[in-house]
Amino acid sequence: MAYNLLKGKKGIIFGALNEQSIAWKVAEKAHEEGAEIVLTNAPIALRMGTINELAEKTNAQVIAADATSLEDLENLFQKSMEILGGKVDFVLHSIGMSPNVRKGLDYDELNYGYYHKTLDVSAFSLHKVLSTARKMDAINEWGSVVALSYVAAQRTFAGYNDMADAKAILESIARSFGYMYGRSRRIRINTVSQSPTPTTAGSGVHGFDKLEDFSERMSPLGNATAGDCANYCITLFSDLTRKVTMQNLFHDGGFSSMGMSYRAIEQYEKSFKDCPE
């Protein structure tokens, strides 16, 4: 059911690669809720993914932009304002990539060139997006920027590797820029810390299926799906959350507040019986 929460609003959505992508679901919901959007992704993702299907469904134009390139970002904001007929009201940053994770290099043996790339793509890109938008005055007052994060920013998850560092920086950028942009232009900036979600980026994490299962069992409400995440992002783009800024908002069925569950105790007892030593 649609509520017209974004009627009259314009936005830019980064990171829809395929139907599994969280950004894909956000784009669909934003369209359903009455927003006009521009879709963007890295040039290689436009070639490899299926974004044109989404563009057709959501009546959106697609503009290529590598989110680490200031030149591409400037072009993206310029063209988006031309297409949408003015400044935007919301931006979704749904971008993540670690060459170290892709190559299976462990955290204690990182390739530093790759490490830099991880941070540039997954964290500094948010700074670049915000800084470009601010210089070009491309976001309307009371606009909203949301970036996607993961609880590995606060706690250690084996296999999440250098992406944990990227998420910690991403959340910090949301706070620091949230202060600057909030004070000068009343723009709000938040991160949404989402449950493990079976997407191209998510499934690339070593042991993802176990992590997803563990998280599902530990969360009183179960894992949040990409569709659930889209619903939450829409509320953050809407006028109903105007005074929410500089927050890392957990959207994870309660996982981040759990310590030990009854299910985990039972499982622990079973494995303890099997191996008494």
Ligand X SMILES: NC(=O)c1ccc[n+]([C@@H]2O[C@H](COP(=O)([O-])OP(=O)(O)OC[C@H]3O[C@@H](n4cnc5c(N)ncnc54)[C@H](O)[C@@H]3O)[C@@H](O)[C@H]2O)c1
Task: Note the residues at the interface with ligand X (CB under 6 A).
Answer: 14-15, 17, 20-23, 41-42, 45, 66-68, 94-97, 121, 148-150, 194, 196-197, 199-202
* Minimum distance of ligand X from residue 244's CB (angstroms): 19
Instruction: State which residue, 140 or 225, has the beta carbon closest to ligand X.
Output: 225
Instruction: State which residue, 73 or 183, has the beta carbon closest to ligand X.
Output: 73
Instruction: State which residue, 30 or 121, has the beta carbon closest to ligand X.
Output: 121
* Minimum distance of ligand X from residue 92's CB (angstroms): 9
* Minimum distance of ligand X from residue 190's CB (angstroms): 14
Q: Which residue is nearest to ligand X (CB)?
A: 202
* Minimum distance of ligand X from residue 142's CB (angstroms): 24
The number of beta carbons lying within 10 Å of the beta carbon of residue 110 is: 19
Instruction: State which residue, 31 or 251, has the beta carbon closest to ligand X.
Output: 251
Q: What is the DSSP string of the chain?
A: ----TTTT-EEEEE---STT-HHHHHHHHHHHTT-EEEEEE-HHHHHHS-HHHHHHHHT-EEEE--TT-HHHHHHHHHHHHHHHTS-EEEEEE-----HHHHTT--GGG--HHHHHHHHIIIIIHHHHHHHHHHHTT-EEEEEEEEEEE-GGGTS--TT-TTHHHHHHHHHHHHHHHHHHHHHHH--EEEEEEEPP--SHHHHTSTTHHHHHHHHHHHSTT----HHHHHHHHHHHHSGGGTT--S-EEEESTTGGG-S--HHHHHHHHHHHHH---
Instruction: State which residue, 58 or 149, has the beta carbon closest to ligand X.
Output: 149
* Minimum distance of ligand X from residue 196's CB (angstroms): 4
* Minimum distance of ligand X from residue 67's CB (angstroms): 4
Instruction: State which residue, 62 or 186, has the beta carbon closest to ligand X.
Output: 62
